A = this chain, B = another copy of it.
Amino acid sequence: LQGYGGTNETPLESGVVQLNAGDKNIQGVIRLVQSNPSKCIIDGTIDGLPKGKHKLYIHELGDISQDCDSCGNILGALSQQTEKPLGDLGEIDVASDGRADFRLTNERIKVWEMIGRSIVVHRGSQDCSTPDIRPKLSCGIIARSAGLFQNSAKKICSC
């Protein structure tokens, strides 16, 4: 694996998202793990969603100072007109209890290039929702998390 450009840290293996902006009734955690150089696994559980299919997108920025309105465009929406944007992670399916349990694989993104951006849950499965409803249901920042292979017991400072 290539490391995280410019730092002396161990290679970045995984990210984690707390969905805590947008609709506060929606709560969830999403993990991103680079299982090998060309495969990223995105799995998670989200509660409080409307029943049916919705889409997950990576947006360019992780700025949630205005909830999901400050996180910029869908990643790659400006550069790729003909194919689906890089930030399109695919669909999730919500059961009647409001829960989505999902596991997506992606061969286009690298976890370490996604860190600091956001994941946004878009209402519905269309690429562009109808303008009369707010498409963004919930969002959260893609944060660095301890890699699977890092020794998290190696702490000298607990503060």
Residues of A within 8 A of B (CB): 2, 4-9, 15-16, 18, 20, 29, 60-65, 70, 72-74, 77-79, 110, 112-113, 115-118, 122, 128-129, 135-136, 141-146, 152, 154-157, 159
Contacts and interface: CB of A to CB of B under 8 A. Distances in A.
Nearest to A87: B157
Contact of A18 (B16, B65, B73, B135): B65
17 contacts: A5-B5, A9-B60, A15-B116, A16-B65, A61-B146, A63-B143, A64-B143, A72-B155, A74-B159, A77-B157, A78-B154, A116-B142, A116-B143, A128-B159, A129-B159, A135-B159, A136-B159
User: How many of these chains are in the complex?
Assistant: 2
A38 to B, nearest CB: 14
Nearest to A113: B7
